[in-house]
Amino acid sequence: MALDPVDAVIVGAGGGGGVVAYELAKAGWNVVLLERGRAQTFAETGHSELHSQRTTVLGNAFGPDDTRHLRIREAENGRWVKVLPSDGAYNNVAACVGGGTLSYGAMAWRFLPKDFQMRSTYGAPAGSTLEDWPLRYEELEPYYAKAEWEIGVSGKAGANHFEGKRSKDYPMPPLPFNREASLLAPAARKLGWHPFPIPMAINSIPYQGRPACVQCPHCVGFRCEVDAKSSTAVTVIPRAIATGHCKLRTECVVKEVLLDKKGDARGVAYFNADGELVEQLARVVVVAASATETPRLLLNSKNAMHPNGLGNRYDWVGRNLQGHAYSGAFGLFEQETWDGVGPAARVALCDHNHGNEGCVGGGMLANEFIRLPYLFARSVRPPGAPRWGQAHKDWQRRWYKRSMGVKGPVQEVPRWENRVEIDPVAKDAWGIPTLRLSGRKHPSDLKTGKYVAARAAEWLRAAGAIEVVETLPGMGLSGGQHQAGTARMASEAKLGVVDRDCRVFGTSNVYIADGSVHVTNGGFNPSLTIQALAFRTSERILAAGHPGKRG
């Protein structure tokens, strides 16, 4: 069944897709926004820790489900094994309206200028595909500012000693320091470092018709009960629909991008909520399905012009999968450090993002979000600390409010071998060939992780910790919520998948609007960069003179 053509069809109603839907609909384009998950309410999950996106013991609270989705993963012994979405090896991103932004912690970071020039800064380590972006921070800066104001970010301009130049202040002041931040900030200054309040996509004051944060402890992993968290589900997507030009269709699983004889897209084929295969014709296709699902869709979309998959003439699609090599430390204190004031993560520093002797890059450090009891019981403990029985309960009672975690997303060095490809056998519940994941971190990542973890331990000791345990990244493939890199932006087709406008090489009308296009992933949570790029890509789509352009 073929539906009437629209100006644009967007695959994925998450952090990037929601932005593009809003910008095109606002310009008068008729847009269809397809989402494989549902629109979820706060009442469905509430504050149950066992139904959060961080605790998957009962499955993923915000999807995808274990019954219809699977992936294949290369195990340590080289064998291919099936993994389900609730397994960490699946490298899941939430599948619902808003995507990961519905339940994320909402840190809203700009990358630093050097993050766009990693090869120029460090060279290319052996066995890596480390490269510069084909655009610089200064070119993206206006779109960072636009994202901060359109989505709603609280912060303090100029507080980050290392950030690039800003054209505009934040629209809201930062959230106030909690007890942990009040202990850590002076300790950092004592060490000669530069602490500052974390920029958060959370309302510190009423903004755009949404209330201020009520500072409950249930933030990361949960939908916000008052919608103070600036998810695209409560910001740009409702605004897109309100224009009258955007139709949101949920529980729609896209099978392939439909291609014509010239190699351009003519729409997408998808299974609707009733399981019917539908063709949505469109003049422009935007893929914003995540850095694992986007390459899967491209590789599953073939014709004579794209025999190896859409945009895959030079075998770049699915390569360079990267996330973050999280590193940090956990400390125990004599006094109570826990005050229950959410979202808890309030103070950060960027002294160790670059310039670390002998390291390639680094990462920002920040205090952790509130660790709820179940997750606290499963988290790192000093050697010999009990894990079971009455001794475990006593330990939990004694230290739950007298502990603190500091960690950071260490920037990974990309590798050609870290990849997403199509499994030749396995299919999902809709009969669509599923993806398989393989690869491991570059040795440089562990070296940098050890350096950053040591700084986190130093910070905790300066704040008064009596015992500290460093936490280091494993060497396994990384992706998860911060996945990126699998449709690299490049200056020419031989070096990547999309051009500077995020348009797929070899097509005139297919764009990508998620972390897939990141050349490197910064030492930060990447959501604001994805959204800044999405605003920029929308502008480029509107300026490209596609036949569907209005007015």
Distance from C-alpha of 132 to C-alpha of 142, rounded to nearest angstrom? 20
**pLDDT the model gives residue 547:** 62
For residue 551, pLDDT over 70 is answered with no
For residue 57, pLDDT over 90 is answered with no
pLDDT band at 162 (very low <50, low <70, confident <90, very high): very high
Q: Which residue has the higher pLDDT, 194 or 54?
A: 194
53, 126, 326, 495 from 57: Cα distances, Å: 10, 39, 22, 41
Average pLDDT over residues 183-187: 98
Average pLDDT over residues 141-145: 98
For residue 548, pLDDT over 70 is answered with no
**pLDDT the model gives residue 488:** 98
Average pLDDT over residues 399-413: 97
Contacts of 220 (CB under 8 A, 6+ apart): 54, 103, 104, 105, 106, 343, 345, 369
**pLDDT the model gives residue 550:** 44
Task: Tell me the pairing of strands 71-74 and 80-83.
Answer: antiparallel
Distance from C-alpha of 13 to C-alpha of 90, rounded to nearest angstrom? 20
**pLDDT the model gives residue 478:** 87
Question: Rounded mean pLDDT of the chain?
Answer: 96
Average pLDDT over residues 322-334: 98
Contacts of 65 (CB under 8 A, 6+ apart): 59, 85
Give the residue among 319, 364, 408 at the shortest CA–CA distance from 128.
319
Task: Quickly tell me which residue has 């099978």 as its tokens.
Answer: 255
Distance from C-alpha of 361 to C-alpha of 121, rounded to nearest angstrom? 9
Phi/psi for 270 (5° steps) reads -145, 155
For the segment 238-278, what is each residue's pLDDT rounded down to a tens digit? 999 999 999 999 999 999 999 999 999 999 999 999 999 99
135, 367, 492, 539 from 532: Cα distances, Å: 13, 25, 22, 11
pLDDT band at 366 (very low <50, low <70, confident <90, very high): very high
For residue 371, pLDDT over 90 is answered with no
The mean-pLDDT minimum among 315-319, 361-365, 368-372, 461-465 falls in 368-372
Average pLDDT over residues 373-393: 93
- The token pair at 436 is 């398989």
Average pLDDT over residues 382-391: 95
Distance from C-alpha of 403 to C-alpha of 167, rounded to nearest angstrom? 39
Distance from C-alpha of 487 to C-alpha of 320, rounded to nearest angstrom? 8
For residue 549, pLDDT over 50 is answered with no
